Amino acid sequence: MNYMKGYGMEFLMACLLLVSFLILSKQAAQVAGTMSTADNSRTVLVDVGHGGADPGMIGVGGLEEKGINLQIAVKLKAILEEKGYTVVMTREEDKGLYDEDSRNQKAQDMQRRIAIIKECRPVLCVSIHQNSYQDSEVYGPQVFYYEDSAQGKELGELIQKELNTGLEVARPRVAKGNKTYYLLKRSESVLNIVECGFLTNPKEAELLQTEEYQKKVAEAVAKGIDAYLKE
């Protein structure tokens, strides 16, 4: 009887040891898992504005922003990958990030973009968009950064400079601080919104639809990113 009791205790202790060992090794594996994904210093997130039911801005002749955004983003991804970056895109087809039965597709779409940034913790994000304005004379690229972010400002100024030079903009703009745009406010990584041009300006709208000009835009954005990360 006593013998059995002693044996039972030893068995219990062995079980406890085994359980502690399993818990510790699971924790170790989790730490290792976090560490292996922690090197995101070369991960860039390219957010592709709008998509699916949300066409974005409508320009000359019913031109939709969502398609131009994706065409430029795909080119940007290729250029960045060539430079050795890992690129995460928020969408790669004409689809929003919302569920079809969502009550507020726009809100869900934006929240999911923020969730992707939170999950992949990129070194920086660029959100690709096109602009529009009632005055069709207005044209040219415009970069936005979160007003209180010194890093965002630095990235924005570098991308704006490359766009102004690369696209030979006659009346160059300066990168603008903003505190109201959802992505700028919510992103946990440095983020710029890149408005590549105005779809309401006939000349720019036409250029933005050509492979050549889209490539120039993508190259300029990539150069700005490169300059920022080298500093």
* 49 near Zn ion, judged by CB under 5 A: yes
Which residue do the tokens 């398609």 mark? Answer: 67
Render 2-69 in DSSP notation, one character per residue: HHHHHHHHHHHHHHHHHHHHHHHHHHHHHHHHHHHHH--TTEEEEEE--BTTB---B-GGG-BHHHHH
Which one of 77, 91, 113, 129 is in contact with Zn ion (CB under 5 A)?
129
Between residues 43 and 192, which has the closer beta carbon with respect to Zn ion?
A: 192
- For the bound state, the minimum distance from the C-beta of residue 56 to Zn ion, rounded and expressed in Å, comes to 4
Element (H, E) at 227: helix 211-230
Scan residues 56-75 and list those touching Zn ion (CB under 5 A). 56
- Give residue 52's region: left, alpha or beta (phi > 0; psi -120 to 50): left
Between residues 70 and 225, which has the closer beta carbon with respect to Zn ion?
A: 70
- For the bound state, the minimum distance from the C-beta of residue 90 to Zn ion, rounded and expressed in Å, comes to 13
Q: What is the dihedral angle through the alpha carbons of 229, 110, 145, 180, rounded to the nearest 10 degrees? A: -160
Between residues 47 and 157, which has the closer beta carbon with respect to Zn ion?
A: 47
Between residues 91 and 129, which has the closer beta carbon with respect to Zn ion?
A: 129
Give the interface segment with Zn ion, choosing from 44-52, 183-191, 197-205, 217-225 (CB under 5 A).
44-52
Q: Which residues bind Zn ion (CB under 5 A)?
A: 49, 56, 129
